[in-house]
């Protein structure tokens, strides 16, 4: 997979056990949120406690709002809190599957995913990309620009990218490229097939461990943690054109699998085994999948992706983030047309 100046990772804490402790009380949870503002490392302990201990209180809108106030837009913490709330209200329906059921679901997901990869159609799609930057750890992003990119995908695995618009300004005669890196800054590729193949190819020998349950669009899912070693994943992170600007990494993350269809609905991944001293210190990616219709056939394809890169410059750490929406999947050869909705309210680069 090629990732230019950005990829992304969600840092996962090492598992800590709470054998002697009961479910979190609301007072304990609120106290941990206050501690989080002073010590960002507390985030991992909160998520781990929500998953391992559960909660003894109802999750209300007021408590969700208080969590946002103290933790910001932390998607992983929000999901962990909501799932703990569902387990509190419906312990039976939120139980993890047995070891045998977990193995069966994972194997079905592997077969379904690899079959879908082999049956992928030729198509075109628009990517609406909002790019931003922030001081690392602040989660306060300022918008840098907005791009519209036309992507042509062939079932052979070829991906062509045409940069159609920058901040609402149409690009004249855009040429097909291997990425949209000609816009400068952070770009990414591989959302359609490469990430799924890297995780589920049997020869990549990914290691899986069942982690939690969750719901995505009202679909019951099981979350698995996975690891793919560097020599198998061979994920490429690039910060420039020189060989010293390139790094081959492993992959670690989580995958959400629909309990009924055994299809992947969400992936969070991060680059592992980054070389010491490399300018990029973290690369993270999230992909959400949804069903789309192409040539009267339904396919599970990316609906949204978020790519975040942490890099060092002048002794400081900075984050760049691309939020990508995939819009208007159509049969291959169809012209990609930019609508007013795609480019309205485009801010000038800062």
pLDDT, tens only, 256-311: 999 999 999 999 999 999 999 899 999 999 999 999 999 899 999 999 999 999 99
Determine the 3-state secondary structure of 147 from DSSP. strand
**C-alpha–C-alpha distance, residues 272 and 72, integer Å:** 26
Burial class of 194 by CB neighbour count within 10 A (0 to 12, 13 to 18, 19+): middle
- Interval 190-209 mean pLDDT: 94
pLDDT of residue 7: 40
Q: Bridge-partner residues for 126, per DSSP?
A: 150, 327
pLDDT, tens only, 47-77: 999 988 999 999 999 999 999 888 887 888 8
Which pTM value belongs to this model?
A: 0.81
The CA-atom distances, in angstroms, between 115 and each of 108, 201, 263, 295 are: 11, 11, 11, 19
pLDDT of residue 19: 45
Closest CA to 90 of 220, 202, 208: 220
Q: What is the DSSP string of 153-195?
A: E-TTS-EEEEEEEETTEEPSSPPPBSSSGGG-S-EE--TTTHH
CB 126 within 8 A of CB 134: no
pLDDT of residue 113: 96
**C-alpha–C-alpha distance, residues 266 and 47, integer Å:** 18
pLDDT of residue 214: 87
Mean pLDDT across the chain, nearest whole number? 86
**Phi, psi at residue 170, to the nearest 5°?**
-65, 140
pLDDT, tens only, 300-341: 999 999 999 999 888 889 999 999 999 999 998 888 877 767
Which residues fall within 8 angstroms of residue 339, CB to CB, at 6 or more apart?
Answer: none
Reported as a pLDDT band with limits 50, 70 and 90, residue 20 is low
CB 277 within 8 A of CB 256: no
Closest CA to 168 of 185, 151, 143: 143
**C-alpha–C-alpha distance, residues 305 and 322, integer Å:** 8
Inform me whether the pLDDT recorded for 13 exceeds 70: no
């Amino acid at each position: 997979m090629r990732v230019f100046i950005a990829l992304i990772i969600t840092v996962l804490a090492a598992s800590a056990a709470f054998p002697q402790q009961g479910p979190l009380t609301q007072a304990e949870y609120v106290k941990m949120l206050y501690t989080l503002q002073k010590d960002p490392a507390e985030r991992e302990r909160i998520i781990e406690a929500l998953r391992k201990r559960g909660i003894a209180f109802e999750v209300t809108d007021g408590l969700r709002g208080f969590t946002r106030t103290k933790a910001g837009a932390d998607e992983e913490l929000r999901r962990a809190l909501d799932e703990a709330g569902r387990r509190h209200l419906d312990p039976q329906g939120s139980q993890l599957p047995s070891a045998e059921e977990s193995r069966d679901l994972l194997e079905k997901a592997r077969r379904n995913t690899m079959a879908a990869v082999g049956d992928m159609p030729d198509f075109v799609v628009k990517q609406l990309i909002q790019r931003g930057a922030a001081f690392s750890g602040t989660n306060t992003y300022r918008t840098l620009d907005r791009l519209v990119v036309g992507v042509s995908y062939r079932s052979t695995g070829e991906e062509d990218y045409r940069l159609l618009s920058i901040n609402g300004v149409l690009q004249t005669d855009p040429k097909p490229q291997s990425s949209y890196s000609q816009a400068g800054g952070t770009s990414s590729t591989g959302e359609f097939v490469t990430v799924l193949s890297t995780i589920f190819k049997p020869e990549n020998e990914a290691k899986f461990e069942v982690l939690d349950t969750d719901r995505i669009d009202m679909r019951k899912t099981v979350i698995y943690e996975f690891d793919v070693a560097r020599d198998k994943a061979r994920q490429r992170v690039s910060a420039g054109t020189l060989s010293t600007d390139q790094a081959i990494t492993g992959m670690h993350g989580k995958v959400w699998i629909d309990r009924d269809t055994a299809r992947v609905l969400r992936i969070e991944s991060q680059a592992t085994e980054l070389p010491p001293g490399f300018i990029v210190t973290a690369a993270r990616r999230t992909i959400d999948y949804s069903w789309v219709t192409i040539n009267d056939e339904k396919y599970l394809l990316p609906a949204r992706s978020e790519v975040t890169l942490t890099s060092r410059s002048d002794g400081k750490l900075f984050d760049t983030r691309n939020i990508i929406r995939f819009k208007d999947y159509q049969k291959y050869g169809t012209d990609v047309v930019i609508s007013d909705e795609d480019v309205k309210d485009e801010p000038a680069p800062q």
